[in-house]
Structure 1
Amino acid sequence: MRFRVWAVIAVLASAGVTGAPASAEPEAGLRWGPCPEEARATAAECAEVSVPLHYSDPGGARIPLTISRIAAAGPARGVLFGNPGGPGGDALGFWTQLNQRVPQLRAAQFDQVAVQPRGLRWSQPLDCSSPLDGLPLTFQLTCDSHHPGYARTITTENMARDLDQVRLALGVERVSFLGVSWGTYLGAVYATLFPQHTDKLVLDSNVDPDRRWAEQFAQIPAGVSRRLAEFTEWAATQDGSYGLGDTSAAVRDQWNRQVAAQGGGMDAPTLAATTFAAYSRNSWPYLAQGMREYRDDPSRTRFLDFLAKPALAAHATSGWTRDAVECNEDGRVDGLALLHSLATLGGTDPYVQQESLLRTGAACLGWPGTTVRIRVDGSALAVRPLLVQSHHDPATQASGAVALAAATGGTVLWVDGGDHAQFGRRNPTVDDTVLEYLRSGTVAHTTAPEPPLITPSPPAEVPAGR
């Protein structure tokens, strides 16, 4: 996965981009059918929508995007678009999975639509495969060798314009939007470009719209490290269940010994599992049990592997798309910082090493930025956005919510704790606030407690089906 460690999960503009045509007729006869099996969109139907390859040439070449839809159970009050984040997150199964966690969402009576972003599988997939994959200087060349110029169109602005093409294809005047993580920026860009077509906007775990991607990604290791400290404090209170130590320092010492025994790199099972567990407190019992089993028998890594699996199983197009977005919208490499980072590799704290390397923008060596990021502006919106944000989110820091709320004029629902992605965590205050906002446009609460920890502690089995 090229030069950069997976930061979560999580994910080339056309020259002289201009607006799409102001109006268009709905596409006749969208052909709805089963979604791709791997999309995990079992409750949805899928169709293809054709969009311009270059918005500077709307009458020129076009590409197909796959969209999914779960129709409202009764008369629909509107269309609700959704995006799970990234950049580079598969979107087609977004609503199927969210409805499982928030069953009452169906009662909100929206047609739920997800657009698979360009560059990902099922939507004109980007192909940057090469025997030299992993070397930053070859990335742009290998992308262009498969489809010249296509990678330069992989930008947040173009993806937002793609959303509006889907709106036109569906024949609706306004859409609402629920975006998570990078999806908050995508939604904010859409609302900036098309405020007259934007209804309600829910932005969950927010990206700072003015922060460079290299800096945004670089802040994740420090956020994960802070969550590790919170995990060790929790695990110390559970010493009777896991035996990792009755103080935070003792648990951290056990963690350090395991990571060192596993080679110390970012692929070390305990460290990789910790990176994933940082995003959700419900993963902490799995991490603690995994550490306990590994301590007793280093061949037993079932819980650690379970936590690391999502990143390892990511489709190749996810990484290529994420890198293309970053490099097109930043494309700046700090050479001196890169030399310093490389010279200090092998230090004692892997998170400090990762942060140092990510901040340099090294993934974009040889790839100059090709677009200017849209400056988010929500002043023309008819309904003020709702932003949802935990105080200690490791992936999208609280400062991002402050900045995005200022740019959009939105209201923040602050949630205790540090989970990433708040809607659908069985937190009644959060879920009810989002649902009421979608119904009425009003924000009932601006603070919420931490979501409950619902995982059995200690867990007996690895969950199936993920």
Structure 2
Amino acid sequence: MSITRFAVPLLTAAALLPAVPAVAAADGLSWQLCATVAKGWDPGDHRTECALVPVPLDYADPGGPKIDIAVSRIRATGPRTGAILMNPGGPGQSGLTMPGSIAGSHAGGLGVHHDLVGFDPRGVGYSADLPCPTEFPEPGITDKEKAREAAERAAAANRECVEAHPAFVRNLTTPTIARDLDRIRVALGEDKIGYYGVSWGTALGAQYRSLFDDHVGEMLLDSVMPPDLNVTAMDDGQATAGENTFHDFAAWIARYDAVYRFGTTEPAVAKALLGLRDEHGATVNDMLANPRREWAGLAKQLAAIRDGGTPVVGKPTRAGLGWDGEPYAFNHFQQTALLCNESPSPRDFETVWQHRLDRMKRLPVAGGYGFYEQLCVGWPLAARPWSFENGTSPLQLAGHLYEPVTPIGWALAMRQRIGGALMTIEDDVHGSLSSLPCADAVVTFFDTSRTTSASCAGAPVPAP
């Protein structure tokens, strides 16, 4: 039976019900090749299978309306010992293609003894993607009244979506998605599951382990979120890490003064780059605290701008809807809802703006980058903060020493809260563990439950 017609616009609670009978059965799921049922899927992918798992819209009303969670699977290539569920983060990010990404990475050995299972969290991609137009406030706005106007437009759009789908939006929380994860476990017929989470997916893993520790086999969390969600603190932590990256970048450029001619010391280069920023504004500022792998290209662009050239600007991406959407979907509203439903941060523009000014004063390069706090201006629902607990199931954390997206301090704080062993990766690349040779330790962990506290070398910084 085709499942391409499951996705319908999300208009009312009734519209959340599937257009055709659900495919989950008591003896398992009805799997079909994703390439045959999901629009936009790679037609050459003959490994990844897809199915739908029905879950309650509201777990407080388990007999009420249902929604379908889209699940993908790549079967184990050798003697099977279980399944590993995966989430790439966001929040708001589709996870259906993660099994294929992991299978083709240095962590591909996970697929020898385990089925690799991905899913789209509720409100994303093929899992009842919310059709809410999103006003996304730009982080680089420096004029207060323009920033206020943008925040008010975003708040109005958010309120409209909340009013149109109150039950759905109210249930966009990490505990709810953790319960969806457990419904997937049951549908797979597994008593215990492995879990591999990246970025926000680490918070989802911590929440699942807090609620369902007895059903966890092994859990790996890479690029770890803090144990307490507060978007104000997130902006502060990311901006501080970004400011440190700027000074590291300036020191790297100084080592190659014969190439870039900005100066031979870090202070001299930093002064020259800030002077260039004063002339060209956000165009230059947005190049000053980027990942190490981009440094050579960015330094070349900065030198070209200094000498009268023009920078290269990337193009934005778009998200999709339902099975008729895109396999790499991202839903900004779902991200906003998850963050703001759970962060006890300010909802008024004046406080958020003052926080931004204070941050920019402390951190002149990266202080203006933060945008998570802006997302919650005018959010109409009360916050329900995270509550994570320690457990007994095997837990491996991986933190990145120089990363600005999820700073290493967050991993240390999460380990303090929920336990586990911390592998330290010597790079600044978000969620890079699967791309490094030390991903062998990941395979060993899921095969044997043996954790490690070793350091792992990241990819070297490219030369000019």
Aligned counterpart for 2:379 among listed residues 367, 380, 389: 367
Deviation string 1:424-450 (CA, Å, 9 cap, x unpaired) is: 232x3x31222211110112x423143
Pick from 148, 151, 159 the counterpart of residue 141 of structure 1: 159
Query: Where do residues 225-304 of structure 1 align in structure 2 (5 Å cutoff)?
Result: 225-262=243-280, 264-265=281-282, 268=283, 270-275=284-289, 277-278=290-291, 281-299=292-310, 301-302=311-312
Alpha-carbon deviation of 1:294?
Answer: 3.4
SS in 2 for 1:54: coil
Q: What is the Cα deviation at residue 285 of structure 1?
A: 2.2
Question: What CA distance in whole angstroms lies between the structure 2 residues aligned with 1:25 and 1:204?
Answer: 34
Change (3 A) 1:69 1:238: farther
Q: Which residue of 2 aligns with 1:415?
A: 425
Matched, 1:179 2:197: yes
In the alignment, is residue 352 of structure 1 matched against residue 367 of structure 2? yes
Is 1:170 aligned to residue 184 of structure 2? no
Q: Deviations over 1:203-241 (max 9, x none)?
A: 111111124233123321221121121122122223334
Distance in 1 separating the partners of 2:89 and 2:265:
36
The answer to whether the aligner puts 1:123 opposite 2:127 as a matched pair is yes
Q: Measure, in 2, the Cα distance between the counterparts of 1:394 and 1:108.
A: 33
Aligned-partner residue type, residue 128 of structure 1:
C
Cα gap change, 1:344 to 1:164, in 2 (>3 Å): closer
Q: Give the partner amino acid of 2:454.
A: T
Residue 195 (structure 1) aligned to one of 198, 207, 213: 213
Q: Structure 2: how far apart are the matches of 1:323 and 1:107?
A: 33
Distance 1:393 1:241, change over 3 A: same
Question: For residues 317 and 130 of structure 2, what CA distance do their matches in structure 1 show?
Answer: 18
Q: Partners in 1 of 2:407 and 2:356 — Cα distance?
A: 26
Distance 1:334-1:106 versus aligned 2 partners, 3 A rule: closer
- Deviation of 1:130 (Å): 6.5
Does the 8 A contact of 2:53 with 2:71 survive in 1?
yes
Aligned to 1:87: 91
Other-structure match for 2:34: 33
Q: Is the 8 A contact 1:327 1:368 kept in 2?
A: no
- Give the superposed CA RMSD: 3.1
Q: Which amino acid aligns with 1:46?
A: C
Q: Which runs of 5+ in 2 are unaligned?
A: 1-12, 14-24, 136-148, 321-329
Q: Are the counterparts in 1 of residues 249 and 295 from structure 2 also a CA contact under 8 Å?
A: yes
The two structures have a TM-score, normalised by structure 2, of 0.79
Query: Where does structure 1 lack aligned partners over 5 or more consecutive residues?
Result: 1-13, 15-23, 459-466
Runs of 4+ displaced beyond 6 Å: 130-133, 342-348
Distance 2:121 2:104 in 1: 23
Which residue of the other structure, out of 435, 452, 456, is the alignment partner of 2:459?
Answer: 452
Task: Tell me the residue number matched to 2:139.
Answer: none
**In the alignment, what sits opposite 1:112?**
116
Per the normalisation by structure 1, the TM-score is 0.79
Seen in structure 2, the aligned counterparts of structure 1 residues 260 and 155 have a Cα distance that, compared at 3 Å, is same
Q: How do 1:66-85 and structure 2 match up within 5 A?
A: 66-85=70-89
**Aligned pair 1:318/2:327, yes or no?**
no
The equivalent of 2:435 in structure 1 is 425
Q: Kindly, what percent of the aligned residue pairs are identical?
A: 26
Tell me if structure 2 keeps the 8 A contact 1:208–1:403: yes
